[in-house]
């Protein structure tokens, strides 16, 4: 088994985390499947759309079906890296988050994070798989299965970097997590959300059987009760991108809609080294200390605050199409209550995300940043979601301060393919 350490180590074809190679091309894939994800179709999708592709390719496969929350975290902590070439994660973004936390908590986390991860989109949102496919210009159905497209990427893999970010939350723990783990390092790869968008995401869990439609139904119900919900007062402090060429390029593209951006992808040049230089030396103070003087601050009443790292927040929700997996730039987005003319205006913003038309609404604000802190007013309420998963507050107040910034040079390795 791949999870058992032993003295006789098999070293096979080259992957970023393997120190040696031999002549064998038989790739070894460890598959973690979450049977509870989305509409609970992971096992069927695996059998009907993925398994045959990899069996015919001659891959050596081990499958583990997760049994409880954070089981994927435990398994990722135990993987024998010398016996696995690809870690395939079947489910939504939750199983990706769990596995990444497990890899980050290992003593050999630097090597563990070079283990290639392939996301098989079997959940509700599937933001990571969607962002990978979109950045590679790989067509995929927004509301259908694209497990086969992702599975084929393992045949001729292209290893890409996925930026990870450090998160600190006041008295918070992820839902289902034990208190004893409360002080563990929290990482983010997708988003940190507070207010109406998080309320919709977490509240819609009761409609999981509807698939992606659950988000639309919950959004309708929440908007119907405006203005009695979604008025959250907070102070937002953020570290903006420094003035210069890179900031100007990001500002030019950040309101590009999904199809406009798709046309631009082919023409882009890689500038990762420039971005790395931008974040060198950035130090984020702990939550109980004031932010540095070069940070900027906004204090208002918000409908929501959403910090995005990827282009998609769901397979049919291209939220910031210009966001890239491998660039350490976050996008602080929010809507101030005073800029909403009526409840249908808020509904229009939410319902237009599937075409990226929300980017054209002047009430929807976007700021490219390197770090951010949010201090809600005491008892302001509202759910907080980290990578789409609820964060539970163990403190006295109903609201939690939180911040996100560069991940101390921690980056994961994901499987995609060359752009078309």
For residue 21, being part of any structural domain is answered with: no
What are the DSSP calls for 231-242, one per residue? -EEEEEEEEEPP
Same domain, 251 and 305: yes
pTM of the model: 0.90
Same domain, 95 and 53: yes
Give the pLDDT confidence of 234-281 residue by residue, as tens digits. 999 999 998 888 888 899 999 888 877 776 665 565 556 567 777 777
With helix as H, strand as E and coil as C, how does 191-206 read? EEEEEHHHHHHHHHHH
Query: Which of 148 and 143 is assigned the larger pLDDT?
Result: 148
Q: Which range of residues forms the domain containing residue 42?
A: 28-156
- In CATH, what number is assigned to the domain containing residue 188? 2.60.200.40
Same domain, 61 and 91: yes
What are the DSSP calls for 63-120, one per residue? EEE--STTHHHHHHHH--GGG-SEEEEEESHHHHHHHHHHHHTSTTHHHHTTSEEEEE
pLDDT value at residue 267:
57
Last residue in a domain, options 156, 182, 205: 156
Distances (CA, A) of 168 to 108, 245, 337, 409: 22, 30, 26, 16
pLDDT band at 396 (very low <50, low <70, confident <90, very high): low
pLDDT value at residue 382:
87
The count of domains in the chain is 2
Contact criterion met (CB below 8 Å) for 95 and 89: yes
Last residue in a domain, options 108, 127, 156: 156
Is residue 13 pLDDT above 60, yes or no?
no
Same domain, 101 and 186: no
Q: Is 218 exposed, middle or buried (0-12, 13-18, 19+ CB in 10 A)?
A: buried
What are the DSSP calls for 240-294, one per residue? EPPSSHHHHHHHHHTT--HHHHHHHHTT----HHHHHHHHTT--PPPTTSPPPTT
Q: Is 334 exposed, middle or buried (0-12, 13-18, 19+ CB in 10 A)?
A: buried
For residue 273, being part of any structural domain is answered with: no
- In CATH, what number is assigned to the domain containing residue 103? 3.40.50.10330
CA atoms of 377 and 399, how far apart (whole Å)? 7
User: Among residues 244, 360, 367, which one has the least CA distance to residue 297?
Assistant: 367
Same domain, 137 and 189: no
Last residue in a domain, options 122, 156, 190: 156
Most confident range (mean pLDDT) of 181-185, 234-238, 408-412 is 234-238
Question: Catalytic positions, please?
Answer: 93
pLDDT value at residue 171:
77
**Weakest mean pLDDT among 22-31, 200-209, 215-224:** 22-31
For residue 420, being part of any structural domain is answered with: no
CA atoms of 277 and 37, how far apart (whole Å)? 39
pLDDT value at residue 417:
86
CA atoms of 54 and 151, how far apart (whole Å)? 8
Same domain, 148 and 208: no
State mean pLDDT over 343-364.
Answer: 93
Residues 164-200 as b/e (b if ≥16 CB within 10 A, e otherwise) read bbbbbbbebbbeebeeeeeeeebbbbbbbbbbbbbbb
The structure tokens listed for 150 are: 């992702």
Same domain, 244 and 338: yes
Mean pLDDT of the chain: 87
Is residue 184 pLDDT above 50, yes or no?
no
Q: Is 331 helix (H, G, I), strand (E, B) or coil?
A: strand
For residue 252, being part of any structural domain is answered with: yes
Give the pLDDT confidence of 358-389 residue by residue, as tens digits. 999 999 999 999 999 999 998 888 899 999 99
The structure tokens listed for 340 are: 């909403």
pLDDT value at residue 181:
46
């Amino acid at each position: 088994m791949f999870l058992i350490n032993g003295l006789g180590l098999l070293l096979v074809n080259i992957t970023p985390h393997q120190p040696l190679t031999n002549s064998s091309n038989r790739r070894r894939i460890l598959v973690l499947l979450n049977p509870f994800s989305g509409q609970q179709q992971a096992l069927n999708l695996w059998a009907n759309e993925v398994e045959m592709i990899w069996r015919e390719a001659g891959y050596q496969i081990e499958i583990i079906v997760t049994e409880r929350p954070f089981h994927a975290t435990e398994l990722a902590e135990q993987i024998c890296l010398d016996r696995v070439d690809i870690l395939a994660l079947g489910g939504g973004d939750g199983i990706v988050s769990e596995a990444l936390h497990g890899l980050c908590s290992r003593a050999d986390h630097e090597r563990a994070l070079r283990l290639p991860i392939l996301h098989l989109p079997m959940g509700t949102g599937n933001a990571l798989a969607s962002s990978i496919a979109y950045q590679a210009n790989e067509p995929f159905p927004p509301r259908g299965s694209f497990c086969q497209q992702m599975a084929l990427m393992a045949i001729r893999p292209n290893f890409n970097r996925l930026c990870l970010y450090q998160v600190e939350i006041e008295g918070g723990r992820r839902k289902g997590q034990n208190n004893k783990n409360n002080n563990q390092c929290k990482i983010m790869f997708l988003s940190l959300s507070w207010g109406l968008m998080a309320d919709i995401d977490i509240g819609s869990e009761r409609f999981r059987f509807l698939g992606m439609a659950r988000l639309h139904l919950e959004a309708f119900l929440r908007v119907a009760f405006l203005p009695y919900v979604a008025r959250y007062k907070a102070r937002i402090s953020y570290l903006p991108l420094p003035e210069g060429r890179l900031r100007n390029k990001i500002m030019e593209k950040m309101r590009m809609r999904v199809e406009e951006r798709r046309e631009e992808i082919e023409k882009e040049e890689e500038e990762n080294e420039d971005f790395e230089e931008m974040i060198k030396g950035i130090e984020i103070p702990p939550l109980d200390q004031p932010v540095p003087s070069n940070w900027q601050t906004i204090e208002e009443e918000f409908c929501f605050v959403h910090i995005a790292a990827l282009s998609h927040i769901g397979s049919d929700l291209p939220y910031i199409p210009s966001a890239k997996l491998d660039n350490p730039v976050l996008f602080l987005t929010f809507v101030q209550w005073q800029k909403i003319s009526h409840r249908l205006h808020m509904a229009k913003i939410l319902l237009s995300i599937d075409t990226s038309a929300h980017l054209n609404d002047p009430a929807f604000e976007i700021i490219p940043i390197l770090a951010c802190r949010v201090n809600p007013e005491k008892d302001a309420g509202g759910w907080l979601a980290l990578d789409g998963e609820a964060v539970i507050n163990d403190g006295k107040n109903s609201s939690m301060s939180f911040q996100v910034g560069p991940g101390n040079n921690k980056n994961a390795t994901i499987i995609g393919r060359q752009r078309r």
